Amino acid sequence: MNTNRLSPAIEAALNEQMTREASASQIYLAYGSWADANGYGGISNFLFRHAHEERNHMMKILEYILKRGGKVTITAIPAPPSDPTSVNNCFEKVFQHEVDNTTSIYKIVKLSHDQEDWATWNFMQWFVKEQTEEENLAISLLDKIKIAGGENAKDEALYSLDRDLETTPDDARLAQDVTTDNP
């Protein structure tokens, strides 16, 4: 009796996404190491914490595939791209990775919708929300570096940005959580 509740296409897409999340984790590890080696301990700490989150995303998908009776396929993780060239470039790269990951998540949402796999559609909504949060966080990083001077940011501005990021919360606030009492 076949107990796999995932179609072959959904199973393949979820396995691919699992590797993407692992790859995102490696990217954050690589950029965090770059930041630390360049003296930005706060930025590095922020990126390392994020690497951990991406690893958790990978585990969520792995667990979901197993719980639906599917087959988990662990593959090689692609090497991260080249190191950033500046803090500004680092945040731009982070934003682009998040947008790319969102695109990939939306594809699975669409596939599950097309196939009327409502369990997977429902599961993926957590990721849709998470990506909104992460894009939001990346946009706020870009805003901060822009105020600090972008590519021309001076050392003092980078110093305080670095210090701030050490304690920046990992979760961004979503528009859906805002009220007029608590804007």
Min dist CB 103 to ligand OFO, Å, is 11
How far is 42 from 162, CA to CA, in rounded Å?
5
Min dist CB 123 to ligand OFO, Å, is 14
Q: Which C-beta is closer to ligand OFO: that of 25 or that of 88?
A: 25
Min dist CB 134 to ligand OFO, Å, is 4
Q: Which C-beta is closer to ligand OFO: that of 26 or that of 115?
A: 26
134 binding ligand OFO? (CB under 6 A): yes
Residues 6+ apart with CB under 8 A from 157: 147, 148, 149
How far is 109 from 173, CA to CA, in rounded Å?
23
Q: Which segment (8-16, 78-86, 126-134, 148-156) binds ligand OFO by CB under 6 A?
A: 126-134
Q: How many residues bind ligand OFO (CB under 6 A)?
A: 9
Binding residues for ligand OFO restricted to 8-67, rule: CB under 6 A:
21, 24, 54, 57
Binding residues for ligand OFO restricted to 66-125, rule: CB under 6 A:
98, 101
- For the range 42-50, what are the long-range contacts, defined as Cβ-Cβ under 8 Å and sequence gap of 24 or more? 42/161, 42/162, 42/163, 42/164, 42/165, 42/166, 42/167, 43/87, 43/90, 43/161, 43/162, 43/165, 45/165, 45/166, 46/165, 46/166, 46/168, 47/94, 49/170, 50/170
Q: Do 87 and 158 contact (CB within 8 A), yes or no?
A: yes
Min dist CB 54 to ligand OFO, Å, is 5
Which residue in the set 77, 130, 139, 166 belongs to the binding site for ligand OFO (CB under 6 A)? 130
Residue 10 CA, chain-centre distance (Å), reads 21
Q: Which segment (4-12, 75-83, 127-135, 145-153) binds ligand OFO by CB under 6 A?
A: 127-135
Q: Which residues bind ligand OFO (CB under 6 A)?
A: 21, 24, 54, 57, 98, 101, 130-131, 134
